[in-house]
Copies of this chain bind each other. A is one copy, B any other.
């Protein structure tokens, strides 16, 4: 991976001076066009050997471009708010919105590289991380991002010379610490690990760009031109994604599916309901106050057709909990700031800390339900969403979150009855709109979308629970019982990754 960056590249002063003004003007033009266009976030990763010019490169980009539309994100030791959530959360919250450039000084590569260097993770575990990274970057690119991953390279001798030069100059001496000299000792190991990671993450959608770091002018001019060309190319590319799409998802030829096989009218007597409700609410109250829950979190997803009883089920849950411990997240149309980010961003921002509960009244599954049925996104978009969602939920469960997902199913007749009832009751009139009646007409489309959703996103870590909901009492008890059983099972088991991670997290991270 590094061969072309060991050729002693250099650019003479005259060539450099002649090239800069034009490049600078073009970069700024591209920035304004990007801002105008408003559809592309530019993500620039700056990584590589120490002394290879990472900091200098960032500075030169600020000098050449309009600094108002650039942010630099530094990731030193995670804050406690970050440590209480999945490791990728801190990168999600730092993503630049569409139209802006975000420079990552340190990135989702820093941790795996460091952990592997310090022998904290096996090659096998590393490859699992690499796979996660590739999928994460693919998602970003599919959501419109332009990703440029720079690796600045130096030979071992080059690095030594460079550190010495920095140390000699009083203006830069502060930048060289014992840590840097220690890193020189592990130069070969870093090259090995980085070489492996770069090779495995050198994807078609986000390839690595290795730049020789020895000559300042060569490095700066290279980065400037590469960034410019990438932005121009992306701005000139036609918008419509020609992503290959598989033939339509097949259906079972006998007409049976997970929804048709439900017995929607399961009943529960009033007295049985009272007993069960008290039992499971009491149990839930205990579980969320269990000391072991302090290291976990609970993420509940409520999906279901209109009037299926999502709100009622949530109410029965919160009755057992302390309001300071949970948040209800009603999912409606995304805001302006949310539209400027990948579609999962607006859910990531509500992911609870350890010891807390989030209940999503509708969720990220909107992508494969309403957005699919109403055509709000392309077929390629919702098709890829299945695996993106699985990855997202894997990030959650992997860090100790318990993800419980409910689909509340009612019959078309029951829905009609509830709609009519709502129109009669003053306080519930708000709940019934023209849109609800329109959605009803697409009953079959939704039915199909739900079956596909369940088939493709019910995983071992985050299974769907289908709730027969014609009888509200039955549904509410089933929801409560399921939450308790999942919580209880999870608290009995400590996730494999957790212990190791807790030990690792405290150490400072190279930026």
Asked if A319 contacts B171 (CB within 8 A), the reply is: no
Query: Would you list which residues of chain A between 41 and 77 have a CB under 8 Å from chain B?
Result: 55, 58-59, 62-63, 66-72, 74
| Complex CA–CA separation, A47 to B492 (angstroms) | 36
Query: Would you list which residues of chain A between 314 and 340 have a CB under 8 Å from chain B?
Result: 314-315, 318-319, 322-325, 327-328, 330, 335-337
Asked if A311 contacts B68 (CB within 8 A), the reply is: yes
Q: Is A125 an interface residue (CB 8 A)?
A: no
Contact indicator per residue, chain A 5-36, by CB within 8 Å of chain B (1) or not (0): 00000000000000000001100110010000
| Complex CA–CA separation, A282 to B74 (angstroms) | 23
Asked if A68 contacts B361 (CB within 8 A), the reply is: yes
Asked if A323 contacts B426 (CB within 8 A), the reply is: no
Residue in B59, B282, B319, B427 whose CB lies within 8 Å of A59: B319
Asked if B327 contacts A71 (CB within 8 A), the reply is: yes
Q: Is A174 an interface residue (CB 8 A)?
A: yes
Residue in B79, B315, B426 whose CB lies within 8 Å of A67: B315
Number of copies of this chain in the oligomer? 2
Q: Provide the residues of chain B in CB contact with A337, threshold 8 Å.
A: 335-337
Asked if A430 contacts B32 (CB within 8 A), the reply is: yes
Q: Provide the residues of chain B in CB contact with A328, threshold 8 Å.
A: 67-68, 70
Asked if A323 contacts B427 (CB within 8 A), the reply is: no
| Complex CA–CA separation, A68 to B174 (angstroms) | 52
A166 smallest CB distance to B (angstroms): 14
Q: Provide the residues of chain B in CB contact with A421, threshold 8 Å.
A: none
Q: Provide the residues of chain B in CB contact with A498, threshold 8 Å.
A: none
Asked if A285 contacts B171 (CB within 8 A), the reply is: yes
| Complex CA–CA separation, A69 to B282 (angstroms) | 26
Q: Provide the residues of chain B in CB contact with A410, threshold 8 Å.
A: none
Asked if B327 contacts A55 (CB within 8 A), the reply is: no
Query: Would you list which residues of chain A between 435 and 458 have a CB under 8 Å from chain B?
Result: none
Q: Provide the residues of chain B in CB contact with A63, threshold 8 Å.
A: 315, 319
Residue in B67, B289, B511 whose CB lies within 8 Å of A314: B67
Query: Would you list which residues of chain A between 153 and 196 have a CB under 8 Å from chain B?
Result: 171, 174
Asked if A330 contacts B426 (CB within 8 A), the reply is: no
Q: Is A105 an interface residue (CB 8 A)?
A: yes
| Complex CA–CA separation, A458 to B60 (angstroms) | 35
Q: Is A254 an interface residue (CB 8 A)?
A: no
Q: Is A413 an interface residue (CB 8 A)?
A: no
Asked if A29 contacts B426 (CB within 8 A), the reply is: yes
Q: Is A81 an interface residue (CB 8 A)?
A: yes
| Complex CA–CA separation, A79 to B80 (angstroms) | 6
Q: Is A103 an interface residue (CB 8 A)?
A: yes
A212 smallest CB distance to B (angstroms): 22
Asked if B68 contacts A324 (CB within 8 A), the reply is: no
Q: Provide the residues of chain B in CB contact with A74, threshold 8 Å.
A: 324-325
Name which of A25, A67, A174, A426 has the most chain B CB atoms within 10 A of its CB. Answer: A67
Q: Provide the residues of chain B in CB contact with A174, threshold 8 Å.
A: 289
Closest to A84 in B: B79
Closest to A359 in B: B67
Contact status of A25 and B427, CB under 8 A, knowing A68-B330, A328-B67: yes
A31 smallest CB distance to B (angstroms): 9
| Complex CA–CA separation, A336 to B336 (angstroms) | 6
A362 smallest CB distance to B (angstroms): 10
Asked if A323 contacts B55 (CB within 8 A), the reply is: yes
Closest to A285 in B: B171
Q: Provide the residues of chain B in CB contact with A336, threshold 8 Å.
A: 335-337
| Complex CA–CA separation, A330 to B430 (angstroms) | 40
Q: Provide the residues of chain B in CB contact with A58, threshold 8 Å.
A: 323-324
A94 smallest CB distance to B (angstroms): 11
Q: Provide the residues of chain B in CB contact with A72, threshold 8 Å.
A: 323-324, 327
Contact indicator per residue, chain A 326-357, by CB within 8 Å of chain B (1) or not (0): 01101000011100000000000000000000
Closest to A170 in B: B282
Query: Would you list which residues of chain A between 391 and 443 have a CB under 8 Å from chain B?
Result: 426-427, 430
Q: List 18 A-B contacts (CB under 8 A).
A: A24-B427, A29-B427, A29-B430, A32-B430, A58-B323, A59-B323, A62-B318, A62-B319, A63-B315, A68-B311, A68-B328, A70-B328, A72-B324, A72-B327, A74-B324, A79-B81, A174-B289, A324-B511
> 15 extra interchain contacts, Cβ-Cβ under 8 A, other than A62-B323, A63-B319?
A25-B426, A28-B430, A55-B323, A58-B324, A59-B319, A67-B315, A68-B361, A69-B330, A72-B323, A74-B325, A79-B81, A105-B323, A171-B282, A171-B285, A335-B336
- List 6 A-B pairs, minimum CB-CB distance, nearest first: A74-B324, A68-B330, A25-B427, A72-B323, A336-B336, A58-B323
